[in-house]
Structure 1
Amino acid sequence: MSKGTLDGAVVAVAGAAGPAGRATLLRLAEAGATVVAADADAARLAEAVDSARYAHGGATVTGDTVDLLDLAATRAWADKTEKEFGRIDGLVHLVGGWRGSSSFAETDLADWDFLEKLLIRTVQHTSLAFEAGLSRGDNGRYLLISAAGASKPTAGNAAYAAAKAAAEAWTLALGDAFRKAGGEDGPKTAASVLVIKALVHDAMRAERPNAKFAGFTDVTELAEAIAGVWDRTAAEVNGKRLWLTPQP
C-alpha cells in the first residue's frame, strides 16, 4: 500500500493498546490517516499513542479512554470523533481476549459471560455507534478481527468460538445494511471480517525462542492487511470474510 492511500482519512481503533493495536496505529499513521485510538487501559493507551506519534512526526494520533461496554459512552466517542475531525472513515475492532478449557465437559460458563462482553458486546456497541458516521463518507470501513476457530470450533474453545462466530454474524449483518443503503450503485461503505489463526509479536517470540508459531499472523502483517482494505472497493470487501490464514 502506498504511503498516502489514507491521507486525510479519520480512522478509529477500538482496543488500541495491545500489540495489534500498537502496530495498527503505526501503520495507519504512516499511511496518512488521522488515528483516534480507544482502550479501557489509560496508561497502556497513552504509551501506544505516544509511540505512534513519535514514529510518525506530524501524524495526528489521539487517545480516548472509552468503556465500550457502555453504549452511551461509545456513541459519545463516535459523535465526538466525527465532530472534532469532520468525518469518520473507519472503525477497526481489535478488542480481544481468550478463555478456554481442556475439554468440552470442563467448559466454564463464566468464560462465556466474560467473552460475550469482550467479543460481542463491544462489536454491537461500536457498530451501532459508528454506522451513521461511516455511512456519511464515501469510503467507510468497519473491520472486525476474528479467528479461524469461529468456523471450525474445537472442544475446549466452545465459548471463544461461539463468541467470535456471533461477532462475525453481527458484522456481516452490518455489511448487509451497507449493501441495502447502496442500492443499485453498490455499497460505498463496507463491513468486513479479517480472519486469522492467532497473532504473534516480537515479545512472544522473545519469550519462546524455539516456538514455531505456525500459521500465526504477525501483528505488523495484520496492520498491513487492515490498511490495505481501503485499497479495495467497498463492493469487493463488504460482507466478506478476508482470510489471512488458510480457510479451514
Structure 2
Amino acid sequence: MTTDRNTRPQAVEKQDEEATKMGTSTGGQGPLEGAVIAVAGAAGPAGRATLLRLAEAGAVVVGSDSHPERLAEAVDAARYAHGGATVIGDTVDLLDLDQAREWADRTEKEFGRIDGLVHLVGGWRGSSTFAETDLADWDMLHKLLVRTVQHTSLAFYDALERSGNGRFLLTSAAGASKPTGGNAAYAASKAAAEAWTLAMADGFRKAGGEQGPRAAAAILIVKALVNDQMRAERPNAKFAGFTDVTELAEAIAGVWSRPAQEVNGQRLWLTPEP
C-alpha cells in the first residue's frame, strides 16, 4: 500500500485543531467546516465532484482509491480549486479489511476524529436477458459493490459513532428496488449493499439509546449518474432521469445539515421512486 499525503504546514495544523474541536454545533460556521470526511472511490467522476464540494464547504477530505495516478489528479484538482483546503489521497485496497482498518485508524490518529465516510466505489455488468446472466459478473460486482461496503463500514463504524455527528453515506441505484432481467447481478449487489448499510444504521440507533443516534448511515439513490465527459462523448444522448455528479455531491454535503435521527436508516431519493 502506498500513500500520497501532503506535507503539514502551519495552516494544516490549524485546521487539525479546528477539526478536533468540532462537535455537533459549529456556531456561525457551516456543519462541514473543519469536519473530517473520508471518501472511498475518490478518483472517479462522482468522487472528484465530491472532493471538490466537501473541500469548498471547509472539510478536511481524505480520499482513497486503488488507482494512485487518478487519485492524485483528483486530489490536486480539489486542492487547486479551493486554495488552503486540506485534501489528502491514500491509495487503499478496500478489498483488504486490514488496509481499510489501517486507513481509518491513520486518519483518526492524524486529525483527531472522523465525521464521515462517503462510499462511491462503483462498477456495472449486465446482460441482454436473465438467461444470459454471467455469474462472473456477480463475482466481480460482489467485490466492488458489497465487499468494499462491508470493509469500510466495519473499519469506520466506531470512529463515526464517536464523532457526535458522523455519517456513512452509500450511493445506490433505483434498480436495486426494481431489478430487470438483464441487470440481476448488479441489482442484487446494490440491494445487498443497501441492506448492509441499513444494518449499520440499526447499530447506530441502538448505540444512541433513548437520546437517539449520534451518527447516521443513509443511502442516496439515483437512477444513474452523468458527467460532462459522458455528455461530450454522446452529445445526442438525453440521459433522462440521470443525476449529475455535481448534484450528487451537493446532496452528499447536505446530509450533515440534517439531524442524525432524521437521516439514519433512510433511503434518500434523488430520482423518483420506481
| TM exceeding 0.5 | yes
Q: Tell me the TM-score normalised to structure 1 length.
A: 0.99
Tell me the distance in 2 between the aligned counterparts of 1:211 and 1:41: 29
Letter in 2 for 1:64: D
Aligned residue in 2 for 1:240: 266
Aligned residue in 2 for 1:55: 81
Equivalent positions of 1:95-244 (< 5 A) are: 95-244=121-270
Correspondent of 1:44 among 63, 70, 89: 70
Tell me the distance in 2 between the aligned counterparts of 1:103 and 1:133: 43
Unaligned runs of 5+ in 1: none
How many pairs align?
247
The root-mean-square deviation of aligned C-alpha atoms, in Å, is 0.9
Tell me the distance in 1 between the aligned counterparts of 2:247 and 2:37: 18
Aligned residue in 2 for 1:28: 54
Percent pairwise identity:
80
Tell me the distance in 2 between the aligned counterparts of 1:231 and 1:151: 27
Q: Shift of residue 188 of structure 1?
A: 1.2
Correspondent of 1:89 among 99, 115, 121: 115
Runs of 4 or more, structure 1, over 6 Å off, are none
Aligned residue in 2 for 1:16: 42
Moved more, 165-174 or 2-11: 2-11
Tell me the distance in 2 between the aligned counterparts of 1:4 and 1:234: 16
Letter in 1 for 2:45: P
> Are the equivalent residues in 2 in contact too, given 1:97–1:115 (CA < 8 A)?
yes
Letter in 2 for 1:225: A
Q: Shift of residue 3 of structure 1?
A: 7.9
Tell me the distance in 1 between the aligned counterparts of 2:193 and 2:31: 28
Unaligned runs of 5+ in 2: 1-27
> Are the equivalent residues in 2 in contact too, given 1:200–1:218 (CA < 8 A)?
yes
Q: Shift of residue 214 of structure 1?
A: 0.4
